[in-house]
Structure 1
């Protein structure tokens, strides 16, 4: 079973192109607009693909290649080698050339997707990643139709593991294949079953990966919106300190009597609200969120998926920490909490701001739980019983 690599990096421009191979321009002719695939035909080895990527026009230093491209190139080279071996084993077979041509076309298209430069829109939609892997999977399914019958029994456990990773345990195809593998008599008659299980598993993997990608995009949108809100809140508090009061009254001075004037205790240490109160509280909130993020890294388990949610999850914690720090201090100073009469010192205010920033974990943990659920469903490496499929 081939584990697909995690990728969460987008390419930096929106150059596009069709899947055809570009032809050389005749002398004196006006060249048409070219794409990566027009200028350089699909590579036939991983090394040639990497050279084509580096040498294609416009491939500047700001391009983020993505590890998934390396896996696509390597898998494409492996499929081509397998196809060549099968062709040598079945000379004169009228069925082989047509299937091999289809396999070659799938690999060419997959490598063309891997060689393209992708813009933000294609990165968000996952067009390159999904296009490359769907063609690699298509070529793999077709290749199973040509393998010698004596090799099917050795390949069947791998197909069964892929089916169990993505399909339901009670799927009839998986159960039937498991029985055939247990019996140890997988042969030519099981070739359609192997292809059916592979095809269904790859389709299910694409669906689960699509859910991870959609959730990642939702997270990034949430990070953007929440960041704009908290930035506006911090800017408002910095411009008009009295509108978002972060100051409290010293509780120890309340023994002076009911008629005593209680001095205010503010985050910046001044006698009254200042322009730096809200920004300082926001900074402490981010610090608390960063501590929570560092703590979560020790328990995070990375799974092999087409997309990663770790960056989006951690980015969400920063604006969430700012929001909880500001709202938390407002609640404490409002007298809403029974038995809590106020903040007694500048140090107490700063500590509470960091504590509330750390406490954003109470809210974002629901996002983390959903992310972990989706990642387990999309990964072939998820331990049994932890998937939501």
Structure 2
């Protein structure tokens, strides 16, 4: 039987490139130093963790485990954690690891606060100030703390992704039930508007003066269309994601599902006379236009969700700015 090739995804490409660097650094270490037995221990640790990363990249789980592993983030987070430990061990195995001090300080500054004692100790470290064992301990503690924050941020991103998926499924079920009820019993969800005070005729989404089975679906589709417009705006202003979990699709799905639901609620409000004397609905086209507007209006609420998602992703992908080394404070 032909060997199954590993899947190619964005996070695998990034992890693979960094794993290649680890293996190149290990190959450049040369023979073991009998004067520094601790370095040999770190070398073996790095090789073991690199093997774990390789297994995570090349393994193909059975089909019945794909959804649980995707939901739990097992392969992504196991690979990243093992890669981080391999990088720490590789640096610690080098005899002249303090030659990497500027890069180590910059990496740690991305994830640790300025007042974190481990970051301060690393930034104050000067070659030759302590014994190699103490210098190595300072570097390892700071790097592990930085990588732990990164790994915890990845877990937070996954938790948010799963919440978005769950909320989208709930909204999908609600919208589907409303649509089916509208077909089975037209008019049970009253979406027709009867503005008697404006001497206008009764208007229904289907274009008739009587409720029909397509009314709910029409309102939901037009509301979803309005939400798609908001999702396009979100897509245009969103910068490329450096996180292993990409949220833009799930955010758009929430907007679409919520837009369809809010369109139904908005048209119900018009039919209930909430806007009596303020808004006249002369035709079905005007009613459907309001469905689009109500669908787009979900942006008012989901902007808070978008802001929170940006904050969560910034924890997993800190980027430099003018005022400091990170976008989002910890």
Q: TM-score, normalised by structure 1?
A: 0.76
Cα 1:352/1:371, change in 2 over 3 Å: same
Q: What residue in structure 2 maps to residue 372 of structure 1? A: 310
| SS at structure 1 position matched to 2:187 | helix
Q: How far is 1:379 from its partner? A: 1.2
Residue 262 of structure 2 corresponds to which residue in structure 1? 324
Gaps of 5+ in 2: none
Is the contact made by 2:195 and 2:276 (CA closer than 8 Å) also made in structure 1? Answer: no
Conserved? CA contact 2:201–2:282, under 8 Å: no
1:66-93 Cα deviation digits (max 9, x unpaired): 2222222222222122112112484786
Work out the CA distance in 1 between the residues paired with 2:125 and 2:46.
Answer: 27
Report if the CA contact (8 A) 1:303-1:376 is conserved: no
Structure 1 residue runs of 5 or longer lacking an equivalent are 1-38, 40-54, 255-261
Is 1:116 the equivalent of 2:56?
A: no
Evaluate the alpha carbon distance shift between residue 309 and residue 78 of structure 1 in structure 2; reply closer, same or farther with a 3 A threshold: same
CA distance in 1, matches of 2:93, 2:239: 38
After TM superposition, give the deviation of residue 200 of structure 1 in Å.
0.7
Q: Offset at 1:198?
A: 0.6
Q: Give the count of matched residue pairs.
A: 322
| Cα 1:244/1:382, change in 2 over 3 Å | farther
- Is residue 286 from structure 1 mapped to residue 232 from structure 2 by the alignment? no
Specify which of 231, 253, 272 is matched with residue 315 of structure 1.
253
RMSD: 2.6
Q: Which residue of 1 aligns with 2:42?
A: 99
- Deviation string 1:107-135 (CA, Å, 9 cap, x unpaired) is 01111011112411011111111111111
Distance (Å, rounded) in 1 between the aligned partners of 2:104 and 2:130: 12
Summarize deviations over 1:145-188 as a string: whole Å, max 9, x none: 22232x523x112211221211122101212222337x998994
| C-alpha separation in 1, matches of 2:275 and 2:327 | 39
> How many angstroms does 1:301 deviate by?
1.9
Among 79, 84, 89, which residue is 1:132 paired with? Answer: 79
Q: Which residue is 1:152 aligned to?
A: 98
Task: State which drifts further: 80-89 or 133-142.
Answer: 80-89
Which residue in the other structure is 1:77 paired with? Answer: 20
Q: Determine the structure 2 residue equivalent to 1:28.
A: none
Distance 1:159 1:352 in 2: 56
Q: Compare the two structures and name the one with the higher helix fraction.
A: 2
Query: 2:283 maps to which residue?
Result: 345
Residue 239 of structure 1 and its aligned partner are, at CA, apart by: 2.1
* 2:167 is aligned with 1:222: yes
